[in-house]
Structure 1
Amino acid sequence: MRALSRSMMVGIFITFCFSIQNSTHRRQDDGQGQRDSLFSSSAIAGNSNGNPDQLPGLQYDFYREACPEAEFVIRKTVQDFVTKRSDVAPGLLRLAFHDCFVQGCDASVLLDSREGAPSEKEASANKNSLRGFDVIDAVKERLEHLCPLTVSCADIVALSARDAIFLTGGPFYPLSTGRRDGRVSRAATAEAQLPSPFDTLAAILAAFNERGLHQNDTITLLGAHTIGHTHCRFVQSRLYNFSGDGSPDPTMNSTLAESLKLICPEDDDEEADMDGRTKLPMDFGGHDTFDSHFYQNVVEGYGVLYADQQLMASAATANLVVDYAIDSDLFRREFARAMVKLSSVGVLTGSQGEVRRDCRRLLEDEPTGLNGG
């Protein structure tokens, strides 16, 4: 998509605002360590000293003595996977978001279901759609050989997402570590707490605000959709029956709508795509690189998800969308800060929680003999 001048964007925004004033109803669907040369200091976002802001209960380079190679191992493992598969980086980023948004950044999203107790993995927003579990498993296996029962799964999730972002062209930001792993994971909790791609702007902002993430944080973090894909079931109603009267969502650019209809025909069975075989790029026309092209799309009505396009539903949010669309460097800096903030939501530290040996199960669920049994 062509680069847009600020005057063009403002003009589009004003016209767009008028078009959406009467369209707010929607259908309810449901180590630092050994930093290799790849991670240059020029890419780091932090305070004036290059270090992250100190977070309560967390420390910068927490594993410097107990497992000094930890961050290097995580970084190298993520790099190995990212170079082989295009779905790894967006998968790890989404995994971190879905972990932190439910009960805080405690790796509860990694736990498998226990008998009679479905875990967060079974929630509709996660089942058959979350990616990156194999990457986390590989990292954990390597770290357990190197430093048994030392590096938490919660830190692995946060650091893996950070490194994946950088490997797709995004900013590198220092993260404090020392998170502990939670012992509770419930599908019902995830169902209740994860935001929906069908949410209105007010609902989106409220959900983020409950976690200490304010309006600008929300706008910035939704920019994660500059990489990755979604599925037909999340756009079907926008294309064919937005308000229940058989008409499409008027906030969607008509060119985008016609393009998506070729991929997601009206007579498609939405449930048939539950395994995620049909993929739609969330940054339509982008190049799977971490940039601000996503915001250019939103300004022009090319937001694939309803929740993304809702960023243009008010002048207060649209102004920052336009700024990011014009200034990619601004977006990158603010995204780094927002990710540091997200990665500190509801963390467990000190004697809270545990450090798992296997990220998929609690220590108490390990076979007899592995945990002193």
Structure 2
Amino acid sequence: MAAAVRCFLMVAVGLAPLLAGAAGGKLSTRFYDSKCPSLQSVVRSATAQAVAAEPRMGASILRLFFHDCFVNGCDASILLDDTASFTGEKNAGPNANSVRGYDVIDAIKAQVEASCSGVVSCADIVALAARDSVNLLGGPTWTVQLGRRDALNASQSAANSNLPGPGSSLATLITMFGNKGLSPRDMTALSGAHTIGHARCTTFHDRIYNDANINASFAALRQQTCPQSSGTGGDATLAPIDVSTPTWFDTTYFENLANKQGLFHSDQELYNGGSQDVLVRVYMRNPDIFALDFAKAMGKMGSLMPSADTPTEIRLDCKKIN
């Protein structure tokens, strides 16, 4: 296993050929070469500082990117604060208690602005920070296409309807990812992001008390800090999504699924006698294949763009429009 992990860590994927022409050719690996040549080193350094201070933050930034891209494209709409006349996405159901790291993106943006004022979008910063978070926690790296712009609006209703929940069935997951142009293989690879991070008791309560396809010892372990009766003080208690290595990006998430130790109902749906069982076993035994597929799927997800008529800008402050 040690040799497999070492090999996994060395995977690097160049996605320029894969995404050529994505989003109408607007994205480029060299978009900031002349306008902000220090961008990637600034983002990497700031992300590394945040992850070193709190390894869980790497998973949070990755989740933030996913929740942004699945709602009208990767446009940093999730970063906008509510105002007296504007309701953003931060307080949508899937985001309110599960998405964090906004302060880290703000800190990175401030450092980028100090180097290259008014040039780099918040959306591109999130994409780079998500890539770097994965790699800093032991996962693969890949080339990020750049040139995104920041939305002037957000959609709480789209955030409430476009993001799959922890109780989703396999059919629902396939459909919701398919709606974004992502294949079932992409979906299963991207689900591997749950090899890092933590979740609140409320998101897996039904799973550990009501699901039949769950390891009894694992259910008992999670029940110790997630009481059966809600409102008893444990609803917000955190548990690692990957029971084995929650701060290391590896393939134990898939091993957990094979052992019926998926924390979410939606996780275990990937290995429950359905169409993704074989792929879960492939990833479990072949870290390099998972790394390659994950990087490719992240590139595809990162190419999701808002519609052509969406007004955009380069925000100076990620929390508000200029």
TM-score using structure 2 length? 0.92
Q: Which of residues 277, 291, 296 in structure 2 aligns to 1:318? A: 277
Q: Which of residues 297, 309, 313 in structure 2 aligns to 1:354? A: 313
Cα distance between partner residues in 2 of 1:162 and 1:348: 24
SS of 1:361's equivalent? Answer: coil
Identity %: 36
SS of 1:269's equivalent? Answer: coil
- Residue type of the partner of 2:140? P
The reply on whether 1:330 has 2:286 as its aligned counterpart is no
Distance apart, 1:53 and its partner CA: 3.8
Q: Which of residues 3, 9, 12 in structure 2 aligns to 1:44? A: 12
Gapped runs of 5+ residues in structure 1? Answer: 4-40, 241-247, 364-373
Q: Which of residues 122, 144, 147 in structure 1 aligns to 2:113? A: 144
Q: Which of residues 193, 199, 219 in structure 2 aligns to 1:257? A: 219
Aligned residues of 1:106 and 1:181 also touching (Cα < 8 A): yes
Cα distance between partner residues in 2 of 1:320 and 1:302: 17
Cα distance between partner residues in 2 of 1:315 and 1:265: 30
- Residue type of the partner of 1:176? Q
User: 1:227-280 CA deviation, whole Å, 9 max, x = no partner?
Assistant: 00111101212233xxxxxxx21011111111111111212417x566x4x111
Cα distance between partner residues in 1 of 2:48 and 2:79: 20
Gapped runs of 5+ residues in structure 2? Answer: 3-8
Q: Could you tell me which residue of structure 2 aligns to residue 367 of structure 1? A: none
Q: Could you tell me which residue of structure 2 aligns to residue 237 of structure 1? A: 206
Distance apart, 1:352 and its partner CA: 5.1
Distance apart, 1:329 and its partner CA: 1.4
Cα distance between partner residues in 1 of 2:36 and 2:120: 8
Distance apart, 1:140 and its partner CA: 0.7
Cα distance between partner residues in 2 of 1:232 and 1:303: 14
Q: Could you tell me which residue of structure 1 aligns to residue 76 of structure 2? A: 107
Relative distance call for 1:166 and 1:51 in structure 2 (3 A) is farther
1:80-229 alignment, distance < 5 Å:
80-229=49-198
Distance apart, 1:286 and its partner CA: 2.2
Cα distance between partner residues in 1 of 2:276 and 2:112: 42
Cα distance between partner residues in 2 of 1:128 and 1:235: 14
User: 1:40-77 CA deviation, whole Å, 9 max, x = no partner?
Assistant: x9532126xx8764232101121011111111111110
Distance apart, 1:148 and its partner CA: 1.1
Relative distance call for 1:212 and 1:314 in structure 2 (3 A) is farther
The reply on whether 1:305 has 2:259 as its aligned counterpart is no
Q: Could you tell me which residue of structure 2 aligns to residue 284 of structure 1? A: 243
User: 1:332-356 CA deviation, whole Å, 9 max, x = no partner?
Assistant: 1111111111111125789951100
Aligned residues of 2:75 and 2:151 also touching (Cα < 8 A): yes
SS of 2:47's equivalent? Answer: helix
- Residue type of the partner of 1:306? H
SS of 1:280's equivalent? Answer: strand
Aligned residues of 1:61 and 1:177 also touching (Cα < 8 A): yes
Q: Which structure has the larger Rg?
A: 1
TM-score using structure 1 length? 0.79
User: 1:131-178 CA deviation, whole Å, 9 max, x = no partner?
Assistant: 111111011111112111100000000000000000000001001100
